[in-house]
Amino acid sequence: MAPELPERLSFSPFAYVFAILTVDRDWVAQTYEGTGFCVASGLLITCWHCVRRTLPEGLNYAAAYAPNAEQGPLVQLDLSDIAKDQNGADLATATIQYAPPRKLSFNQSPEVFGSEVWTFGYPLSGHREAGARVIVPRLLKGYVTRTFHHDRPGFGPTRAIELDMPAPAGLSGAPLFRANTATLLGVVYGETESYTITETEQIDPETGVRLPESRKVITFGVAHRWETIMKAGGPATRGLSVEDYVRLAAG
């Protein structure tokens, strides 16, 4: 039986979104690294920081497909041709032996401020080691709070979408859609923070003990914009941009 979906969700994300993991030679999961998704037949997209580790001999990256949600079983698929986006973004492309029900479409409207959005992925809980927990897919909804240039160490200025939703560890690489559609708006890659000082630093007049300021920290999810995904490329796209690969792909 197919998993029950929230009202008005236009398609099943379980057919597109994968947990990224490492497996040994016997296909036993060792660690969970993040989320990825199949944008068209044979092509998986995730964040580069999810798959950039050089793995020891005997380990490989794989994608776990969960057609029946947490009821299982997980179907593990091999990933090959894994490479960082040729333009330097924190994106990676990989070849996967899988075809989604239909290829995804990219956002065409430049107006995104205030847009309602949703994402679906496999955030981590507990330790990264596979034996320490069970991963559970989650659907998150929010809206776009702003678009901005995010200066990220190791990746430089990134054209980003800030989201009024959390982005816990493991959600990196998850697709971001316009609400109630399969229109791809971005790829979640992390969080940014803002804070308010609720109590200023003080010194106790009797003891001289310094009392630190108290801060209320608020986190916002951040995602790559759709243009960055469309321009991405690597060995898995066969010399094409992701946009051209998807345009020429069946489905």
**C-alpha span between 70 and 90 (Å, rounded):** 29
pLDDT top residue among 107 and 202: 107
**C-alpha span between 67 and 53 (Å, rounded):** 28
Task: Indicate whether 69 pLDDT > 70.
Answer: no
Predicted structure pTM score: 0.84
**What pLDDT, in 10s, does the model give residues 114-141?**
899 999 999 886 555 555 455 778 889 9
The string of DSSP letters for 47-114 reads -HHHH-S-PPTT-EEEEEE-TTGGGS--EEEEEEEEEE-TT-SS-EEEEES---SS--EE---S--TT
**What pLDDT, in 10s, does the model give residues 184-204?**
999 999 888 654 444 555 666
Element spanning 230, H or E:
helix 226-231
**What pLDDT, in 10s, does the model give residues 161-171?**
999 988 888 89
pLDDT at 129: 59
**C-alpha span between 90 and 150 (Å, rounded):** 12
pLDDT at 12: 82
Q: Tell me phi and psi for residue 124, to 5 degrees.
A: -80, 155
**60 pLDDT band (50/70/90 cuts)?**
very high
Query: How many CB atoms neighbour CB 205 within 10 A?
Result: 7
127 sits in the region (left: phi over 0; alpha: psi -120 to 50; else beta) called beta
pLDDT top residue among 55 and 205: 55
Domains of the chain: 13-248 (2.40.10.120)
Task: Indicate whether 146 pLDDT > 70.
Answer: yes
Q: Tell me phi and psi for residue 186, to 5 degrees.
A: 180, -170
